[in-house]
């Protein structure tokens, strides 16, 4: 049962919409602005209820600089929220000293605050008090300044949810992309294109899709070399590793094809021919999704006991506090969290 099906307050009932815990991100960045714009979005209001995790002073400043029409309702528990249109329900951690605060500046105070918003969102969702988490951007330098020993969001979620190797998926306008390798050099990536790794990832990706309610359709494994190698003419990875992995997976009953040449596989996926693509390296999948629609490329972190979505952009310190940051990505992140929450299985 979704959390919003059991919430009640003063007879107000928007209870068939998923409840998404939305973190404020780094207070010195654009996170607060895009979060308040997201909560104020009338179309999104029809799809999701939001409980924001942040600081009341920062939220009120963000409302002021953006000019959105919102009333802040501070609560201790999501169940006490007023999920009427025009209300921003906030769990106020009161962890930013406005006398020391500056937009666009790296600070340990803001890094610590951003971490605490994530920590609280995980706590709430793990306890079943929210249906999913959608995160606004954090600043890695600020996290480091706060002496918090994590590189970024994924590592924080992995540790606090006790998840080994969370699986990242991008979704852009319905096209889903997984990554066989990510933050490694191209030289190192080549050594990681193995039959065993591809089999493991297709198994994990298939499980992740099922937990999101996606149980039909075919997964495509992208090729590595031009024209998928042309039977060894342009490289042997397809012949020696990728094709054998796909054949073994098919024999075991997985609905998978490949290698499909990388210059066409994403186009076919965008048209709906495949339910997802396993890209082989970071930029192969990132370029495809972000070229299709940069603002609506959303990261979904899989293989955890909770559902988490995130924007795939940074804190934009250079424009923070000016009220001009676009909220399309944050809105889409919450929308996807609400889209998958009813199907998500822990």
Q: For residue range 323-343, what is the model confidence (pLDDT) as tens digits?
A: 999 999 999 999 999 999 999
With bands split at pLDDT 50, 70 and 90, how would you rate the model's confidence at 231?
confident
Interval 217-221 mean pLDDT: 98
Q: What is the pLDDT of residue 1?
A: 56
With bands split at pLDDT 50, 70 and 90, how would you rate the model's confidence at 234?
confident
Distance CA(202)–CA(249), nearest Å, equals 8
With bands split at pLDDT 50, 70 and 90, how would you rate the model's confidence at 165?
confident
Q: Do domains 3-164+304-340 and 170-290 have the same CATH topology?
A: yes
Q: Is CATH 1.10.150.120 the classification given to domain 170-290?
A: no
Q: What is the pLDDT of residue 13?
A: 42
Question: What rounded mean pLDDT belongs to the chain?
Answer: 94
Q: What is the pLDDT of residue 2?
A: 63
pLDDT at residue 31 is higher than 60: yes
Rounded to whole angstroms, what are the CA distances from 49 to 62, 63, 96, 188, 307? 19, 18, 25, 43, 15
Superfamily name with CATH number, domain 3-164+304-340: Isopropylmalate Dehydrogenase (3.40.718.10)
The pair of three-digit structure tokens given for residue 208, joined into one six-digit string: 């992740």
DSSP string, 198-255: HHHHHHHHHHHHHHTT--SS-EEEEPSSGGGGGTBTTBSHIIIIIHHHHHHHHHTT--
In the chain, beta strands by DSSP E: 19-23, 49-54, 71-74, 87-92, 132-135, 167-172, 175-179, 219-222, 256-260, 276-279, 297-302, 308-311
pLDDT at residue 9 is higher than 90: no
Q: What is the pLDDT of residue 8?
A: 41
Distance CA(327)–CA(306), nearest Å, equals 24
Distance CA(26)–CA(96), nearest Å, equals 11
Break the chain into its structural domains and give their ranges.
3-164+304-340, 170-290
Q: 190, 221 in Cβ contact below 8 A?
A: no
pLDDT at residue 11 is higher than 50: no
Q: What is the pLDDT of residue 3?
A: 58
pTM, two decimals, is: 0.91
Chain segment 174-194, per-residue pLDDT in tens:
999 999 998 899 999 999 999
Question: Cβ atoms within 10 A of the Cβ of 197, count?
Answer: 15
pLDDT at residue 10 is higher than 50: no
Q: What is the pLDDT of residue 5?
A: 52
pLDDT at residue 256 is higher than 70: yes
The pair of three-digit structure tokens given for residue 229, joined into one six-digit string: 């190698």
Closest CA to 39 of 57, 28, 52: 52
With bands split at pLDDT 50, 70 and 90, how would you rate the model's confidence at 230?
confident
Q: What is the pLDDT of residue 152?
A: 84
Spell out a b/e string for 294-310, using b for 16 or more CB atoms within 10 Å of the CB, else e: ebbbbbbbbbbebbbbb
pLDDT at residue 101 is higher than 70: yes
With bands split at pLDDT 50, 70 and 90, how would you rate the model's confidence at 82?
very high
Q: What is the pLDDT of residue 6?
A: 47
Q: What is the pLDDT of residue 168?
A: 93
Rounded to whole angstroms, what are the CA distances from 88 to 63, 84, 204, 294? 10, 9, 37, 27
Q: What is the pLDDT of residue 183?
A: 85
CA distance from start to end of the chain: 12
């Amino acid at each position: 049962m979704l959390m919003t099906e059991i919430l009640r307050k003063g007879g107000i009932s928007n209870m068939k919409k998923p409840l998404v815990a939305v973190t404020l991100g780094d207070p010195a960045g654009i996170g607060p602005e895009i979060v308040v714009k997201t909560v104020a979005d009338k179309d999104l209001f029809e799809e999701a209820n939001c409980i924001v995790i942040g600081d009341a002073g920062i939220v009120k400043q963000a409302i002021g600089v953006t000019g959105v029409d919102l009333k802040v309702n501070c609560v201790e528990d999501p169940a006490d929220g007023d999920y009427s249109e025009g209300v921003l329900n906030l769990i106020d951690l009161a962890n930013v000293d406005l006398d020391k605060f500056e937009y666009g500046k790296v600070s340990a105070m803001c890094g610590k605050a951003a971490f605490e918003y994530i920590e609280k969102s995980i706590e709430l969702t793990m306890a079943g008090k929210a249906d999913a988490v959608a995160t606004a951007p954090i600043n890695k330098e600020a996290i480091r300044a706060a002496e918090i020993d994590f590189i970024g969001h994924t590592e924080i979620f992995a540790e606090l949810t006790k998840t080994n190797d969370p699986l990242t998926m991008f979704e852009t306008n319905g096209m889903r992309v997984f990554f066989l390798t990510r933050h490694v050099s191209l030289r190192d990536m080549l050594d990681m294109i193995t039959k065993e790794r591809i089999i493991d990832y297709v198994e994990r990706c298939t499980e992740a899709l099922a937990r999101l309610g996606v149980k039909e359709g075919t997964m495509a494994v992208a090729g590595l070399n031009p024209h998928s190698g042309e039977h060894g003419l342009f490289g042997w990875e397809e012949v020696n590793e990728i094709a054998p992995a796909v054949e073994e997976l098919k024999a075991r009953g997985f609905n998978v094809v490949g290698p499909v040449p990388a210059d066409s596989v994403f186009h076919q996926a965008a048209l709906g021919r495949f339910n997802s693509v396993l890209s082989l390296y970071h930029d192969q999948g990132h370029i495809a999704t972000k070229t299709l629609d940069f603002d609506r490329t959303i990261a979904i972190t899989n293989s955890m006991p909770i559902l988490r979505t995130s924007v795939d952009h940074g804190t934009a310190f250079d424009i923070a506090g000016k009220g001009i940051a676009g909220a399309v990505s944050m809105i889409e992140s919450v929308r996807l969290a609400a889209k998958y929450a009813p199907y998500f299985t822990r």
